[in-house]
Chains A and B, each alone.
Chain A
């Protein structure tokens, strides 16, 4: 039965991916990508990867899709038809695919419990992490403790994305003249964004529902943040969900109102803060006599030390992810209308 679900989902994924190749309407392409991401999340659930499914759904089907739509709003909706359809990409793809298939031929069989991956490193995580780290969620134990340095790296990656987007786009406070060509000046004394962009306020249903839902989303984000030790969840998912709440607010009530609730200046301080919190915990462990990120030394009982360390770093992750996602959203939506019609 599980194989059947698997097969159906994979089939739907294949159909979606194929359709993307031939579509010219980019809005549909992005929507198909959102569907692809969501179907992947479903497959992850069926493959027992619940934390991953959570993250893929929120990050892939959520943030990535929003950013792509934002980009489309600033560029073009349709792909132009090209004259040439060269054979070279097809050749490259067939060769690469062939090499991959060749590589699968002596792979360990799918889902077999005797596979090498289940025998060497993993058994300690499964059997001993509940005692050594003291958390039921083994993924959190590995993510935050055993391979905590990877996760610090990941948080730095998120921070790098913020640096990249800020340096490329920046967050604009004033609106440029809509008829302007590609002019870079933005101090033409135009009205502040909060007045010129009403968002979707006019739609009553959206306004009412948004006001009802946003507090619930934030509550859920807090829950995910702190419950990640016991169930699926953790800093990343929580940060993205919290950002989603504010993104929803900004979409419905206008970017100007969004700026008034969480101003870009606040974000500029929050973004580095999470990374510094995480690295700071590591340095604290060093100062208390352990290795970098060795939480055992944070308390007299190593397991308690692990708990303190993990809560702190997950908080750091959540804060930076929240700030970066919101920052990137602000950067995209505060750009001008489409240029050069």
Chain B
């Protein structure tokens, strides 16, 4: 009996857990509870992914009312896959947070931190599983509000201005999405995603619908930090608590990319969006600029977290580039990178957070000599860094491989070359930190240097779980590649995609 309700558990569990978490006294009570809930969600999403791969799309009618009169939850391979990534990162970060957030956040706000994390998880899961466009907006706002709260819990006062800027830009984005959905509703009379697709297909071309598409695309682009609407991201990731940066980098923007894919492929139809509206060219150009400008900016930074933040925007550029190739392989590469990048960035931010825990600073010069003093942390950083660069045997290599082959399939040598060039820039920014860690002596001017120790095991374990996942899924790519391919296929089927660019 429980199994028929499984599709909604990833939303309902954290939704009920969050208010309960508020009432739990003591700092570790909230942590334990939140971690348990997240772990259960992780197990459930794994089961759901397998079920969807075996049985096909799952549908659940909320309130018992059939869609389009009621709200439908719809799980296909695409969102099940992203859900797995989100719950995995959430659980790993929560284990990590006991020490990390315990150190960086005031005692009396710890309970609120875990409550906000659960709310964010609720929101993200809701966005992924829902099949109703307005319901998506509601859960988007739940996750956004929780995110603003999480960012503002940082210790540096700049987290406040970062959170405020994020709030203003994020709300503008959400309002644009609301305007777009309104325009779609006006022409079709429905909010259910599949129903919208059917109704929209009846119009050959409509100014209202196209404007609606444009507004939704802009709104979603703000949320996924597509260049040039990415300005909120570097300060937010830099000044948020380390555990929050690790969580957000792996989840929030990826879910927004999923939303973009859902609107493009399932609701509007790929032919319409790419060929009639020319979105493929716009997205491709923006993606390439994102990759280069932001990799370049990353290479210039002194602050390791800001460096990773810019790197994240660049990596999102890779994902969007995959989408803009308008081919099955490109789309598949993009979806694969959603999962892989979550693994990479989660590990990297955790490593940097570990340095902050012991050294108290994330300036690159603070990394000097840590290769010897914090060997496990820096080893983790090294492997994850190699993954970002795209060295073979890591997931980063797998994503880049599929992206490059997707580009070559279309005879697009330029794009393939640009992707490889981007990897070179990644070598620069990853290299700067590795150089400081392994090839410099510890900074003698650091006050009262008791020898810097390694971080507690509670922080090392989740870090290394993600790092090992990086390597495991880089070698045995069967699950992730199959899921990404099925996901791309299901998007293509939704779209009645005429072209087969093989």
Contacts and interface: CB of A to CB of B under 8 A. Distances in A.
Q: Is the interface of A mostly helix, strand, loop or mixed?
A: helix
B259 to A, nearest CB: 16
Contact of A150 (B108, B138, B183): B138
Given A121-B190, A150-B134, A166 B112 contact: yes
B22 interface: yes
A129 to B, nearest CB: 10
Interface in A157-201: 157, 159-161, 163-164, 166-168, 170
Nearest to B116: A163
A19 interface: no
B22 A163 contact: yes
A339 to B, nearest CB: 14
A167 B153 contact: yes
A312 B291 CA distance: 52
A279 B190 contact: no
B214 A99 contact: yes
Contact of B138 (A105, A107, A153): A153
Contacts of B80: none
Closest 4 CB pairs of A and B: A103-B211, A272-B19, A294-B64, A120-B189
B63 A291 contact: yes
B62 A149 contact: yes
B112 A116 contact: no
Contacts of B22: 163, 268, 271-272
B122 A291 contact: no
A160 B145 contact: yes
Interface stretch (A39-47, A140-148, A231-239, A254-262): A140-148
Contacts of B64: 290-291, 293-294, 296
B210 A291 contact: no
Contacts of A295: 63
Given A149-B135, A167-B109, A269-B23, A121 B207 contact: no
A99 B116 contact: no
Given A163-B149, A272-B23, A290-B64, A153 B188 contact: no
13 contacts: A107-B183, A115-B186, A115-B189, A148-B62, A150-B71, A156-B119, A157-B138, A161-B145, A167-B113, A291-B61, A291-B62, A292-B5, A294-B63
Contact of A145 (B20, B65, B134, B146): B65
A304 B191 CA distance: 28
Contacts of B208: 103-107
B18 A159 contact: yes
Interface stretch (B8-16, B315-323, B365-373, B397-405): B8-16
A103 B191 CA distance: 19
B153 A147 contact: no
Nearest to A293: B63
Interface in A105-140: 105-108, 115-122, 124-125
B12 A116 contact: no
Contacts of A170: 108
A13 interface: no
Contacts of A286: 5
B392 interface: no
Contacts of B146: 160, 163-164
B70 A146 contact: yes
Contact of B112 (A102, A107, A167): A167
B152 A149 contact: no
Interface string B345-382: 00000000000000000000000000000000000000
Contact of A108 (B12, B108, B186): B186
Given A271-B19, A279-B16, 14 more contacts: A99-B211, A116-B188, A117-B189, A147-B70, A150-B71, A153-B126, A163-B18, A163-B116, A167-B149, A167-B153, A273-B19, A291-B64, A294-B63, A296-B64
B211 A167 contact: no
A216 B109 CA distance: 38
A25 interface: no
B221 interface: no
Interface string B15-40: 11011101100000000000000000
A282 interface: yes
Interface string A280-301: 0011001000111111100000
B19 A150 contact: no
Nearest to B19: A272
A32 interface: no
Contacts of B183: 103, 107
Contact of B68 (A120, A268, A294): A120
Interface of A: 99-100, 102-108, 115-122, 124-125, 145-150, 152-154, 156-157, 159-161, 163-164, 166-168, 170, 268-269, 271-273, 275-276, 279, 282-283, 286, 290-296
Interface in B122-180: 122, 126, 132, 134-135, 138-139, 141-142, 145-146, 148-149, 152-153, 179
A153 B185 contact: no
B295 interface: no
A40 B138 CA distance: 22
Interface in B54-86: 60-65, 68-71
B19 A119 contact: no
A102 B64 CA distance: 39
A164 B142 CA distance: 11
B212 interface: yes
Q: Which of A108, A121, A166 has the most CB of B within 10 A?
A: A121
A282 B63 CA distance: 8
Contacts of B19: 159, 271-273, 275-276
Contacts of A120: 68, 188-190, 195, 199
A117 B149 CA distance: 37
B63 A168 contact: no
Interface string B194-211: 010001000000111011
A148 B70 CA distance: 8
A124 B69 contact: yes
A106 B206 contact: yes
Contacts of B132: 150
A117 B186 CA distance: 6
A118 B207 CA distance: 20
B71 A147 contact: yes
Q: Which of A105, A107, A125, A149 has the most CB of B within 10 A?
A: A149
B187 interface: yes
Contacts of B253: none
A167 B61 CA distance: 35
B313 to A, nearest CB: 21
Contacts of B312: none
Contacts of A100: 179, 211
Contacts of B15: 152, 156, 275, 279
Contact of A160 (B12, B62, B68, B149): B149
Given A100-B211, A102-B207, A164 B138 contact: no
B251 interface: no
A130 to B, nearest CB: 15
B131 to A, nearest CB: 11
B65 A146 contact: yes
Contacts of A272: 18-20, 22-23
A291 B282 CA distance: 43
